[in-house]
Amino acid sequence: MAGPGSATQKTGRMRHLLSALVQNQPGVLAHVSGMFASRGFNIDSLAVGETEDPQLSRITVVVRGDDRVIEQVRKQLEKIVTVVKVLDLSREDFVERDLMLVRVDATPARLAEIKALVDIFRGRMVDIGPEQLMIEISGQERKIEAFIDAIRPYGIRELARTGRIALPRSTQSSDRRELESSETDESTPTVLGHSNL
């Protein structure tokens, strides 16, 4: 991971989730990604999509770096004419999701095992072939990573991820905790003995 200063620098370096609201114009993404490149940052994840306003898009970027330097980068991004607003969501309470499609080997004898694993992680099979199947799964990054580890022994042939998207939470009441407790898909399942599958 490239960043400002020495590659061995650890103090103060953390993952930052930046959300940039930008105008839908050609070249905006190049300007935003170019800002990070010019400062020596490697982008861990980048997702772009329209918002509720078709004239605006949201760019969600995950980078690692010192808090002070990331704050400077955030301010520099806001100086780009086509950038409306930039938030460092790492400083806020937010909801995040990542979407993945993965194609795995699936012999008829192991199809039931894979289906059980998909159900545990609340994913779904979206394409089934004679020897392979495609699985769709969404959730927090740690859930996606846990599923990849669990399904890897079956043989991953192709994998595609959207990258992280996120929005800050709007409620701060105790009602939110009740909602969170009901979001069972956000807990990372514990798969016992999956290495023997």
Residues 86 and 101 in one domain: no
Percentage of the chain modeled with pLDDT above 90: 52
Percentage of residues in the chain having pLDDT higher than 70:
80
Per-residue pLDDT, 174: 40
- Of residues 140 and 197, more confidence is placed in 140
In a domain, 33, yes or no: yes
Q: Which CATH number belongs to the domain containing residue 129 in this structure?
A: 3.30.70.1150
CA angle 32, 81, 17 (to 5 degrees): 35
CB 166 within 8 A of CB 96: yes
Query: Across residues 85-114, what is the average pLDDT?
Result: 92
* Residues 182, 32: Cα–Cα separation, whole Å: 37
pLDDT at 179 over 80: no
Instruction: Tell me if 142 is assigned to some domain.
Output: yes
pLDDT tens profile 99-112:
999 999 998 889 99
Q: Is 23 exposed, middle or buried (0-12, 13-18, 19+ CB in 10 A)?
A: middle
pLDDT for 195:
38
Say whether pTM exceeds 0.85.
no
> What CATH number did the domain enclosing 80 receive?
3.30.70.260
Least confident span in 49-58, 143-152, 175-184: 175-184
Q: Are residues 64 and 26 in the same domain?
A: yes
pLDDT, tens only, 115-138:
999 999 999 999 998 889 999 999
Token pair 């953390």 is found at: 14
Give the range of the structural domain holding residue 72, as residue numbers without chain letter: 13-91
Q: Do 86 and 19 share a structural domain?
A: yes
Q: Specify whether 30 is located in the same domain as 59.
A: yes
Check if the beta carbon of residue 16 is closer than 8 Å to that of residue 63.
Answer: yes
Torsional sign, CA 154, 156, 157, 160: positive
As for how many domains the chain has, the answer is 2
User: Which pLDDT band holds residue 187 (cuts at 50, 70, 90)?
Assistant: low
Mean pLDDT, all residues of the chain: 83
Does residue 152 carry a pLDDT above 80?
yes
Is residue 193 left, alpha or beta, with left meaning phi > 0 and alpha meaning psi from -120 to 50? left
